[in-house]
Amino acid sequence: MPTESAARLLEQTIGELSVRAPAIVAAAAGQLAPIALGLHFGDGSHAVLAARASRLLVTLGRARGADVEVYFDDRSMNLLFDREHRPVRELLEASLDVRGARADVLATWRCFRLLAQRAWGLRMVQTLWREYRAKSTERWGEPPRAPGGTRRGRVRHALADSGWNALDYLDRRDPAYRDQAHEQAPWLRAAARSLWDGRTARAWSDAPALLDNDLMETMKACRARVLREIAAIIPRREPRAQLYALMRDYPSREGKGLRATLTIATCASHGGRADDAIRAAAAVELFHNGFLIHDDISDESTHRRGKATMHMAQGIGLAVNTGDALNLFAVDTVLSNLPKLGLARTLALIHEIIHMCRETVEGQAIELGWIRANHVPVRDRDYFQMSTKKTGWYTCISPCRLGAVCAGETDPARLDRFNEAFRLIGIAFQIQDDVLNLVGEQALYGKESLGDLLEGKRTVMMIHLFRSADARTRARMAEINGLPRARKRAADAKEMLRAMERFGAIDYAVALADRLAHRGVRRFERDLAHLPENEAKAVLRQVAHYVTTRPL
């Protein structure tokens, strides 16, 4: 997307930061609220920057009644985001002008400083700025010289036969390296990784996913790594067309990689190797996709992640069988951890997986029961319970617990510390997904537009609608819900959507998701304070904040 003006560039930068560094945006929004900034740029463009809950909102155009007025030229914007060119040493007097109450000006500065620190580290933001700079080449400073690399120091050590393989030797055996990792050689902080274990090769260029501050890139890398594992797990033999090719179908469809990231990051945050969590993450993905196929059949869904659902494309028989096979292979994948992680951790993984599956089928049963009885619960709490069971466990809670188990954490009390934080975050995430199904674009969301309404899915919006609507509307909505899926028309779904808008159900859901997400983030900080502040915990924190800054 072209970055034709400085204001547009700022809008895109904030947009990227919102998804790639949510924790920072949330912190910056916390500094800024409730100030409204009127931003004026050297190229004549204008924008308004304001905070709403944990989000930063950019509106192009001039501000009315802004608390702080800020004028930038290109040179001072350079200070904020651009890393390829050094900030000029002295700003021209007219380069940056900030006017407003003293406290507001300071808050503005703190907000920009937070954004600038993180934006510096993001390739996507740098790309935006490179494009912009290419169009506005005047007044940029000279490119910086590469800093000289003078770090030296490596402790020689005994090389007697240790009985450890290369990976263990690098990662755990050698105390000299460990000492260096803490003091002299920050480049050693990353855990060792295997390139060849006697059977399987991994590319050296598969950079460790958790070294990137960009949440989207991290999730992409984790997902890609897990997909490669799944590709290796599913055999390439007959019956190909009727089974194994179908098993690859759902996992390969577009996804965020949230579960994989949580599993891998939690493992790493507990001091484990990212590689140790890959199989568990792959197992969760296989279960998830098996459940989705069955779920689509029971919900009579027509689209999943932008394509026809399995049963629509292949028929119910093959779809059921494929779902069964995915679940079977998931069990096998968990068991395959035995040689790598040992008996205790593998048994703990099995225990976690069984619990996850039980919660999921119970949640599904509750919702299907509501739909079958044409019942809409009155209390949000009922929805919370159903949502946590149906999706919360396998989307958020279990991936974290599994990751911790992979790293050797099997203390139930420690594992339970993930539950409340990620329960709240999971519910918020699910509510947002439901909102997106109503107001988002199908191309982005993947399911058919208003599909949830056609399926009669019990969402917070529907619960709020039934709770707050008048008796006549409620009766009409119950009538629509009572129609079989095949007889529901798009007009029925639109009628229900209009009713939801009329009774403020969508705004209510957005605000509720915000509140839950904030509570989740607070619980994250409190309950997981025992985890050391490392790169992987930072990724978990980003995921927690992702829900609070996700564009709706």
Partner 1 sequence: MPAALHDRTPALDEADPSLGPRGPFPDIALRREIERRWLHYAFLSDERDLGLVSNIAWLGPAANDPLRRTRNTAIVLMYDRHEGWSASQFNALVRAPAWSAFRLSASARVSRFEIASSAQAPGVDLTLRRSSHPCTSQCVAFTPDQHFRWQSETGIHATGMWRTKARTYRRVRAIGYHERVRGCWGWPELGGWVFGFANAPTGKDGAPPPYALVFTLVYPQAPAEAATASVMLWQDGRLRRHFTRRNIDVAVRGLLEHDRVRHVPALSQHLGVFAMAPIPRLLVIDARQGRDRVLLEFECRAAARIVIPSESGLSPFSVHEVIGPCHVSGLVNGKTFGFETRGIVEFAGGAHAD
Measured distance between the N- and C-terminal CA atoms of the chain, rounded to whole angstroms: 20
Q: Any alpha helices (H) in 42-142, and if so which ranges? A: 74-81, 102-119, 123-135
How many angstroms separate the CA atoms of 105 and 407, rounded?
Answer: 46
CB of 9 to partner 1, least distance (A): 21
How many angstroms separate the CA atoms of 253 and 255, rounded?
Answer: 6
Q: How many CB atoms lie within 10 A of CB 416?
A: 12
CB of 201 to partner 1, least distance (A): 4
For residue 70, the 8-state DSSP code is E
Q: Pick the closer one to partner 1 by CB: 194 or 442.
A: 194
Q: Pick the closer one to partner 1 by CB: 228 or 474.
A: 228
Sign of CA dihedral 466, 470, 473, 474: positive
CB of 162 to partner 1, least distance (A): 8
CB of 205 to partner 1, least distance (A): 4
> Which of these, 416, 404, 418, 411, lies nearest to 276 by C-alpha position?
404
Q: Pick the closer one to partner 1 by CB: 199 or 487.
A: 199
Say whether 459 sits in a helix, a strand or coil: coil
Q: Pick the closer one to partner 1 by CB: 99 or 189.
A: 189
Q: Pick the closer one to partner 1 by CB: 94 or 207.
A: 207
CB of 200 to partner 1, least distance (A): 7
Where on the chain is the footprint of partner 1 (CB under 8 A)? 146-147, 149, 154, 156, 159-161, 164-167, 169-171, 177, 185, 187-207, 211, 232
Residues 257 and 220: beta-carbon distance below 8 Å = yes
CA distances from 306 to 17, 326, 339, 394 (A): 26, 21, 38, 22
How many angstroms separate the CA atoms of 546 and 257, rounded?
Answer: 13
Residues 134 and 77: beta-carbon distance below 8 Å = no
Residue count of the chain, please give it: 552
Q: Pick the closer one to partner 1 by CB: 171 or 420.
A: 171
CB of 506 to partner 1, least distance (A): 41
Q: Pick the closer one to partner 1 by CB: 211 or 361.
A: 211
Residues 376 and 419: beta-carbon distance below 8 Å = no
Residue 468, burial from CB neighbour count under 10 angstroms (0-12, 13-18, 19+): middle
Q: Pick the closer one to partner 1 by CB: 166 or 245.
A: 166
CB of 154 to partner 1, least distance (A): 6
**How would DSSP label each residue in 302-371?**
-EETTEE-HHHHH-HHHHHHHHHHHHHHHHHHHHTTHHHHHHHHHHHHHHHHHHHHHHHHHHHHHHHHHH
Q: Pick the closer one to partner 1 by CB: 268 or 438.
A: 268
Q: Pick the closer one to partner 1 by CB: 65 or 149.
A: 149
CB of 143 to partner 1, least distance (A): 12
CB of 478 to partner 1, least distance (A): 54
**150 token code pair:** 């003078």
CB of 328 to partner 1, least distance (A): 22
CB of 132 to partner 1, least distance (A): 17
Q: Please name the amino acid found at residue 398.
A: S
Q: Pick the closer one to partner 1 by CB: 277 or 427.
A: 277
**How would DSSP label each residue in 25-60?**
HHHHHHHHTT-EEEEEETTS-EEEEEEETTEEEEEE
